[in-house]
Amino acid sequence: MILFLGGDVMTGRGVDQILPHPGEPTLWEAHVKHARDYVTLAEATNGPIPRPVDFSWPWGDALQLLDQLAPDLRIVNLETSITSSADVAFEKGVHYRMNPANIPCLATADLDGCTLANNHVLDFGRRGLLDTLDALTRVGIRPIGAGRSAMEAAQPAILTDGKGSRVIVLALGAPTSGIPSSWAATADRPGITFLRDLSPPSADEVVKSVAALKHSGDVVVASVHWGSNWGYDVTSSQVEFAHRLIDGGVDVLHGHSSHHPRPVEVYRDRLILYGCGDLIDDYEGIGGYDRYRDDLRLLWFASLDASDGAVEALRMAPMQARRMRLRHADPDDREWLRTVLDKISRPFGARIELDDDQLLILPRP
């Protein structure tokens, strides 16, 4: 079984403006008031962007690679509200909104599910969240980790790999990623599945829900939005939380929130991705954190034993975002990513190499 696990997909703001149906461009940020200004920044950095672009444009070379590696399931973390709602969460400094008419941008990647338990899905209020749930459902993409009530938000996606195996995907959002506690779904209020903290009792609650769902032969993926935007450090609470989930039956921890990759670990033959980094966004031309090379992205392909969830292989395809489009990374950039990911993963017992296909790999015994 091969799972494609993508990091943060932000198709709002500047990306929305280059798609066939750009939405209302007004922004409420401290320094930028118009979404098209992010297009201008990207063009000043890497050259002109045709407008409108095709719905597949932001994915670029990634689509061919996805078809080539043929994962059984495709999951990403969607950090954009798909809505025309004007119910702005003014208490937040940054807001992502994509016109619902641009939903084919997500559908063109043949995604099976989008995790929504993150710090941007309610940028345009509960109305915006409900619009997002409806838009994804209309094109056959399963929303995960958000719902019209706490019960609906907590319902995992139960997917099949086409070969008879079930993959159970649950999504959780932690306050360390900037999610307001008020975004938690309740019995009568739409919202997300919110982790109050990363304590052992919180982990045990997740484990309890997994135990109620998992049957022999099922693979369980816990997708967690946690941690800061920048930096390679992983906190002890994150490590302990991840290990406790795996001890309790989770097979893959799919972490995200940081704008660049964080360490990889194999614990008890199970895969932990502490941070998958960004996948699609409008960040070109924004300075301040250049040393992290957030223009470089990874597509994560986890090969698992379908009978017990053990990781057999991990392949990572290096990409670069230019003109708001993913393209294959150059050799020097591939090596830069490999070196960094290897260095930060060594304390977790993992090594990262480059294979003959120019993909980063996690060697397994």
In the prediction, which pLDDT does 364 show? 77
Taking only the tens of pLDDT, the chain with its 365 residues reads 999 999 999 999 999 999 999 999 999 999 999 999 999 999 999 999 999 999 999 999 999 999 999 999 999 999 999 999 999 999 999 999 999 999 999 999 999 999 999 999 999 999 999 999 999 999 999 999 999 999 999 999 999 988 889 999 999 999 999 999 999 999 999 999 999 999 999 999 999 999 999 999 999 999 999 999 999 999 999 999 999 999 999 999 999 999 999 999 999 999 999 999 999 999 999 989 999 999 999 999 999 999 999 999 999 999 999 999 999 999 999 999 999 999 999 999 999 999 998 999 998 76
Plot region of 277 (φ>0 → left; ψ -120 to 50 → alpha; else → beta): left
- Which pair of structure tokens corresponds to residue 164? 């008879």
* Best CA proximity match to 105, nearest among 21, 4, 13: 21
Count of structural domains within the chain: 1
Give the count of beta carbons closer than 10 Å to the beta carbon of residue 212. Answer: 7
Partners of 330 in beta bridges:
none
Strand residue runs (E) in 174-293: 191-192, 219-225, 252-256, 264-267, 270-273, 278-280
Query: What single string gives the DSSP state of each residue in 318-331?
Result: EEEEETTEEEEPPH
pTM over 0.95: yes
Ramachandran class of 268: left when φ > 0, alpha when ψ lies in -120 to 50, beta otherwise: left
| Sequence-distant (≥ 6) Cβ neighbours of residue 72 within 8 angstroms | 1, 2, 3, 161, 162, 163, 167
- pLDDT of res. 365: 67
What residue numbers bound the domain in which 85 lies? 2-362
Give residue for tokens 């150059």. 330
CATH number, domain with residue 31: 3.60.21.10
pLDDT computed for residue 75 by the predictor: 98
pLDDT of residue 165: 92
Alpha carbons 300 and 9: distance in angstroms, whole number: 14
